[in-house]
Each structure stands twice: as structure tokens, then as C-alpha cells.
Structure 1
Amino acid sequence: MFVNSFLIYGSKFFSHYQSIINQQKEQFSISYIRAIAAVAGYSLYRPEVDNDSVDLGIVSRGGTGKIFSPRLEVQLKCTSRGILDENYIKYPLNLTYQERLPIRGTGDLVKQDNHFILKNPQNLQIEKI
């Protein structure tokens, strides 16, 4: 009986610990983007309800092109796994997230200087937003 109680308590402890780690990762991701946006002069907004897998929105005030105050909505990911392979980022997305992306395709995401560039795009499809 003692062993069963310990196993149940141990699994609850691990679940609680994992929940805390995930919350810390989420806060780290948000803080990181806030710092980058502040330096670049952009504003951020955070949807109250996460229905569409949008964690933050990045807004540029004004603008000189055809779109006034352009916005970019992002879903943040933070991991402790090794996802860097030289100049590549390899992060597996589960099917739920892949289905929600307005841009689909495959290719090589390469870091050049301070930018990421999609090289060798294949089967690239851009859905109407």
C-alpha cells in the first residue's frame, strides 16, 4: 500500500514540477520577444484567449507601404532540447500547429547574420488570410 501511495504522490509531484517548468519557459519566451520588440520600436499585444494559437502580436505603428500599422501574430516555443544543427533549427511541430499555419511547405531554414532565411523551398503554399 505504501508503494502505491508513493508512486501516485511521485507522479503528482513530477506533473506539478513539469507544469512549473513549462510556465517558466512561456514567461521566458514572452520576455525575450518583448525585449527584441522594445529595442526595434514595435508594440506588442497579447490576446486574452488563445483560440488560434497566437501568443503575441507585434505591431508597427504607422507605416509607409500599403498597409497601415502592419501586424505579425506569433506563437512562441521555448525548449531545452538541442534543436540547433550548425545553421539550422530543427523543431518538430505537431499536426495541430501545422494545420493552422497560413504558409506551408518544406525547405531549409538557414541563419545568415541576424536573419533566418528559407532556402530550397519546396511545395510552398500560401493560404489567403
Structure 2
Amino acid sequence: MLLCLAYTPAIAQQPVVDAWYAALATADRAKLGSLLAADARIRMTDLGVEQTKAEFMDSLDEWEAAVKGATIRHRIESSDGAVTTVVACYDFPANDVLLREMFRIEAGLIQENNQDAIAENCEAY
């Protein structure tokens, strides 16, 4: 019976991942800040950008303008321990993009987020 009650890694990480995308869609600074570990790293590998938590938080004014009127859909592809891989469709008013994102989540905080564009639109979502 206890085995039936055990969380799979994807289920255990789902609330953090869901909260991340909800906060990202509205540029909710307080929530995003509470989800990131103090030493978190955000990497947008296709753009060659790596940010610390502070740098990411400082970029939210620009992000808020970009995400206005957008929707973000996501689904977990896999989860293995602390690492969860997600496919996310960022549907902006003028364009959309499909990303594969890897989260390393420890103690309920995002330690690492790596983002790679996989398509210039969300048709494959």
C-alpha cells in the first residue's frame, strides 16, 4: 500500500513547475523570486545567455513587456530525481516558440533552468 502512495519524481516536481510557468506568464516577481534558490542559474542556451538569480530578476521589466498578452503552455516530458524536463510553448501575440526546458529542483527550489528552442512555432506541442 505504501508503494501506491509514493510520489513519482514528476508528480513531486509538478507544483514547482506549474508555479514557475504561472508566475512567468504574469512576470510575478515575488513568486518567481520565491521559487529560485539564492544561487540559481538560468541558461538560455540558444541565445548564449546565462543569468544569476539577481540578473534574472533584474530582467523582468523587459520580460513583462514581452509577455503581455502571451500564454505559456507546458507539459512535463520526464523527471528523474531532481531533474525535470518540460516542453513549453510560449505563444506571444506576434509569434510563438517551442522550448525544451530542464529544471533542477532541490528542496522545492529551482537551482537550475536550462532552456533550448526546439521549434520556431508551437505546432509540435
TM over 0.5: no
Normalising by structure 1, what TM-score? 0.31
What is the TM-score of this pair, normalised by structure 2?
A: 0.32
- Bigger proportion of residues as strand: 2
**Of the two structures, which has the highest relative contact order with CA contacts closer than 8 Å and spacing of 6 or more?**
2
Asked which structure has the greater CA Rg, the reply is 1
